[in-house]
Amino acid sequence: MTISVVIPAYNEEKYIAQCLDGLQHQTVKPDEIIVVNNNSDDKTIAIAEKYHAYIIHEKQQGIIHARNAGFNAVRSDIIARCDADTIPAYDWIERIISDFTNQTIDAISGPIFFHDLPMMKTFNLPSKMYAQFMKKLQGHETLLGPNMALTKLMWNKVKNEVCLDDTKVHEDIDLALHVKKYGTILFDPALCVHTSARRMRSNVFSFFVEYPIRFIKTLNQHN
């Protein structure tokens, strides 16, 4: 079983080295690391090249377009995805592969810690509560963008169906809704990553107002 990691990136020079360093020090190494350059004009790509990541370029701006370009480029059996400001646990790849030995599983996700919020470094209850809330609301597990994986086979089933407008959907929830039409999603409490809370801190309005509104739009888009 082979596995590729896709990292969408737009001006991530402050963070991407930590992410790539974490991937290089896994108990099981990924077969491929793909960094999707989404019009960065800083040192993001120069840093990624030092880690010998495979660089692809997506000119159409937006996380959905960058993610799709990366997923389409994957040559492995499993597509793992994290954000450029995410630091995966040392056994992240190993756990993903272990979870997919259960051939009834088509996609997986796990909890998130915020490494730059003192109270959240070892406390992942918010992401667990969010996952539980989504399960009750939708009747199935969801996917968390900084910490997820799916089979290449499943991606090929849904890639022409996923929504493409970042203003109307949360891309990870949207992907989960499409995956669930064809298969099974697992939430693994031991599949952990640490990520940055910078977006929450830099734009409180976006996080607490725009984010919930787009969440409602996502569900309406599918209802």
**pTM (two decimals):** 0.88
Q: How many other CB atoms sit within 10 Å of the CB of residue 107?
A: 28
- CA-to-CA distance for 17 and 12, rounded, in angstroms? 9
Q: How many other CB atoms sit within 10 Å of the CB of residue 182?
A: 13
- CA-to-CA distance for 96 and 113, rounded, in angstroms? 18
- CA-to-CA distance for 90 and 29, rounded, in angstroms? 10
Total number of domains in the chain: 1
**DSSP secondary structure of 30-61:** -SEEEEEESS--SSHHHHHHHTTPEEEE--S-
Q: What is the CATH number of the domain that holds 169?
A: 3.90.550.10
Range of the domain at 189: 3-222
- List, for residues 129-141, the tens digit of each pLDDT value: 666 766 666 677 8
Q: What is the pLDDT along the chain (223 residues), one digit of tens a residue?
A: 999 999 999 999 999 999 999 999 999 999 999 999 999 999 999 999 999 999 999 999 999 999 999 999 999 999 999 999 999 999 999 999 999 999 999 999 999 888 666 654 455 555 566 667 666 666 778 899 999 999 999 999 999 999 999 888 889 999 999 999 999 999 999 999 998 876 655 554 455 556 666 677 777 776 6
Sheet strand arrangement including 193-195: 87-88, 193-195, 112-114
pLDDT value at residue 25: 96
Question: How far lies 140's CA from each of 24, 52, 77, 181, 212, in Å?
Answer: 33, 37, 24, 11, 19
Please tell me whether residue 148 adopts helix, strand or coil conformation: strand
> What does the block give as tokens for 205?
């309005």
- CA-to-CA distance for 140 and 133, rounded, in angstroms? 10
200: exposed, middle or buried (Cβ count in 10 Å: 0-12, 13-18, 19+): middle
The H-assigned helical ranges of 44-197 are 44-50, 63-73, 92-99, 125-138, 152-158, 171-180
